[in-house]
Amino acid sequence: MTRIDAKFAALKEQGKKAFVAYIMAGDPDFETSLEIVKGLPGAGVDVIELGLPFTDPMADGPTIQAAGQRALDSGMTLQRTLDLARAFRETDDTTPIVLMGYYNPIYSRGVDKFLADAKEVGIDGLIVVDLPPEEDEELCLPAQAAGLNFIRLATPTTDDKRLPRVLQNTSGFVYYVSITGITGAAEAQATNVGPEVARIKSATDLPVIVGFGINTPEKSQAIATVADGAVVGSAIVSQIAAGKPIGEVLDFVKSLADGAHLA
């Protein structure tokens, strides 16, 4: 059982919904990013989604693209991202970390070396958005063999014919993308999301967590009400981009987490 599995089992026992926060590793620099990540559990975050900076993102909107570029400009690399996870684990051995990014940096490092290093520093799961199920032998299956969850995205265009393939080797949770498009492009609507979450849950026992388009405590609560939890990324990254003090960023995160936990 990974930390992700244990966290969702505990939340289910408590009758609580999950709150997942996305932070780009190294934005605006290593030290600030690490302090924010260290503060997330105290702000109510159940699972940390740690962005891996990459030069050519596909799913990310302008806000997270800019965060990735700031991180790269500050010298962030895959190795430094793993170093950040290791530093976080020095004081927190229970909060799950999901590394979210693209396959190029992992491929360049070598899958076996990457998985061994990720496991060693305390990464619990992976979201690699440019590897479809047809490529499961590339990373998904080796990751699961190494004890890491491989989390897949389902979208509004994942129809009933495609859904079983998407779910086939998914573990940890299913990440439902609430909108068609990139992060930060539109607002999620619970009335649209609810039926889709129900459809996915009829096909899997995994928790279904909804992300993209959630930017307020009210929206976090509304989405968590119709799912097993909510993910917020761009709205938090915007606070960092605005140069808000770490305490203010974490207060904002707490308001979002409180919203999800009220669901």
| Residues paired with 19 in a beta bridge | 230
- What is residue 186's DSSP assignment? S
Please count the CA atoms within 13 angstroms of the CA of 99 that sit on its side-chain side: 28
Q: State the burial class of residue 108 (Cβ atoms within 10 Å of its Cβ: 0-12, 13-18, 19+).
A: exposed
User: Which string of DSSP letters, residue by residue, matches 42-65?
Assistant: GGT-SEEEEE---SS-SS--HHHH
The H or E element that residue 230 is part of is strand 229-232
Cα 259 from chain centre: 18
Q: Clarify whether 49 is annotated catalytic.
A: yes
Residue tagged active-site, from 5, 60, 136, 196: 60
Tokens encoding 118:
């990720």
Is 109 within 8 Å of 59 (Cβ atoms)?
A: no
Is 80 within 8 Å of 71 (Cβ atoms)?
A: no
> What angle separates helix 190-201 from helix 217-225, to the nearest 10 degrees?
40
Q: Clarify whether 60 is annotated catalytic.
A: yes
| Residues paired with 190 in a beta bridge | none
Residue tagged active-site, from 5, 27, 46, 49: 49
Q: How far is CA 262 from CA 197, 228, 231, 241, in A?
A: 19, 12, 15, 28
Q: How far is CA 200 from CA 63, 78, 164, 174, in A?
A: 29, 32, 9, 9
Residues labelled catalytic: 49, 60
